[in-house]
Structure 1
Amino acid sequence: MPFSIESFFFILGRMSGLFLSAPIFSNRQVPVRVKALMVVIISATLAYFVPVNYPADLDSPAYYLAALFLEMFIGYTIGIVAYTVFAAIQLAGQIMDMQMGFGIVNVVDPQSGTQIPLMGNFIQLMALLMYLAIDGHHYLLQAIVQSYQVVPVMGLHLTGSFYDLIVKISVYMFVIAVKISAPIVIAVLTADIAMGFIARTVPQMNVFIVGLPLKILVGLITLFILLPVYIWVFNVLFVRFFTYLDQVIMTMGL
């Protein structure tokens, strides 16, 4: 199909929203100029192949700007749904850190540029590698392309189903965080109970000095034992959230 400048700008708007929120694409370590160039190149390429349907009455600049804003919102929503799973993993790492004694140890997250807990950074980087291994970033680009079949330009409809699904995804994020951190929390809690019995039977031992490194050791050993399980869990989470992403796109086009 021939290149259309209108299609290019609409795809550019939806792609810009994706690059503002999606994992990998929104990485703050990538210079803004590089990301802008990537958005332009990808949008120009897709403009040749993606059929973009838009109303014929977009001659007014106000309507045209409104259409571009809605396109950015659609792309941002697609990206933020994919980012939710990483937010859940980061929250799980924060729960682990609080139990293990790493609550005051923070590192800079390259994705968001904010400080996150140590274990949260570790499991988030591991999840990011799994995300790249299953070509999750390619799936988001495919979702942008296929979204034009469901949500055309100026065809966004935010019904009650959309808001219910967003709330469901947000609640599920906290459920995931608790489930991921549960083995570490249980192991550290068991170590605390054991130290409590030791403190009662051996009063001469200073459990406060021995307890903190013991909790760290138990937490790290449990984490490394469960690494294969976490890798499998992350794959399952990505598949489920990709299903949620398809549902969100469908609800925006109802």
Structure 2
Amino acid sequence: MLELSNEQIGAWVGSFLLPLFRIAAMLMFMPIIGTQLVSARVRLYLSLAICLAIMPTLPPMPVVDAINLQAFIWIAQEILIGVMLGFVLQLLFQVFAIAGQIVAMQMGLGFASMVDPANGISVPVIGQVFMILVTLLFLAMNAHLVVFEVLAESFFTLPVGGGFLVENYWEIANKLSWVLGAALLLVLPAVTALLVVNLAFGVMTRAAPQLNIFSIGFPLTLVLGLVIVWIGMADILAQYQVFATEALEFLREMARAS
């Protein structure tokens, strides 16, 4: 009959389950994999596979007593680190989601909403198009592999059982202002062009009040907005590279914080 001592069980729990909590927390919260499009069972299986793949390369883990309060503190710390890493990736995707919503409101497509299958909420169509585009670019440029590399490195820079600064979360909170600024920078040409169109309609209404500008202003603004978005797509790759590089560098800085 196989008998295991408390030390052996604690070593097994520390070497496998503690890293699993960090990996699973990040996969549950990060975009693409952490959305409703991927079932929780698939995410759990993927977490197990990643944990088994990187477990031989991880540094020595602390011995965990299953009925000790310290074990629950370490588990909570690993979950917080995983959520932190996943939330940093969410910032990159929300830049394009907010940018699409701003453009949709300016061109009159704010009422045209559809259910986002990833998050289960109603979003403007332009915002959903931008989200699909950034998802395809994220996967095509192998950014997900960079994320998994940073996740593996985090076990050396933020070891299990080590200290974790609360200032890391303050850095994420300060980064929220970057999301809005980046979204405005992304759609600034389109918003400026639509503003000029609206000002032109205002001048026409003032110059010729007998003309029913509102009857042609809405469809014309809608068509011009679609043309402006189509023209702006030519520069979307360069803008994505800038934002993705900054987001991934911030992710690596957060993983290296100590």
Q: TM-score, normalised by structure 2?
A: 0.89
Larger radius of gyration: 2
Q: Distance in 1 between matches of 2:57 and 2:84?
A: 20
Runs of at least 4 residues of structure 1 off by over 4 A?
57-60
Matched to 2:82, the amino acid is G
Q: Distance in 2 between matches of 1:141 and 1:110?
A: 25
Matches within 5 A, 1:75-224: 75-160=82-167, 162-224=168-230
Contact 2:26 2:85 survives alignment (8 Å): yes
What TM-score do you get using the length of structure 1 for normalisation?
0.91
Counterparts of 1:156 and 1:132, CA distance in 2: 33
Asked if structure 2 preserves the Cα contact closer than 8 Å seen for 1:22 and 1:79, the reply is yes
**In the alignment, which of 10, 13, 31 is matched to residue 23 of structure 1?**
31
Q: How far is the alpha carbon of 1:134 from its aligned partner? A: 1.2
Secondary structure at the counterpart of residue 107 of structure 1: strand
Q: Match of 1:26, SS? A: coil
The yes-or-no answer on 1:74 pairing with 2:81 is yes
Does residue 1:32 correspond to 2:79, yes or no? no
Correspondence for 1:244: 250
Distance in 1 (CA, whole Å) between partners of 2:212 and 2:163 is: 63
CA contact (8 A) 2:106 2:194 kept: yes
**What is the deviation of 1:7?**
1.8
Q: Residue deviations 1:182-219, cap 9 Å, x none?
A: 11111111111111222233333211111111111111
Percent identity (aligned): 25
CA contact (8 A) 1:106 1:118 kept: yes
Q: Residues of 2 paired with 1:51 and 1:144: CA distance?
A: 11
Mapped to 2, the partners of 1:52 and 1:13 lie a distance apart of 16
Mean CA deviation greater in 217-226 or 151-160:
151-160
Tell me the SS of whatever aligns to 1:41: helix
106-115 or 169-178, which deviates more = 106-115
Aligned residue pairs: how many?
248
Aligned residue type for 2:49: I
| Structure 1 unmatched runs, 5+ | none
Q: CA deviation at 1:135?
A: 1.0
Cα RMSD of the aligned pairs, angstroms, is 1.9
Unaligned runs of 5+ in 2: 1-10
Q: In the TM superposition, what whole-angstrom CA distance separates every residue of 1:53-91 from its partner, at most 9, and x where no partner exists?
A: 333464643222221221111111101101101112111
Assess if the C-alpha contact under 8 Å between 1:127 and 1:231 holds in 2.
no
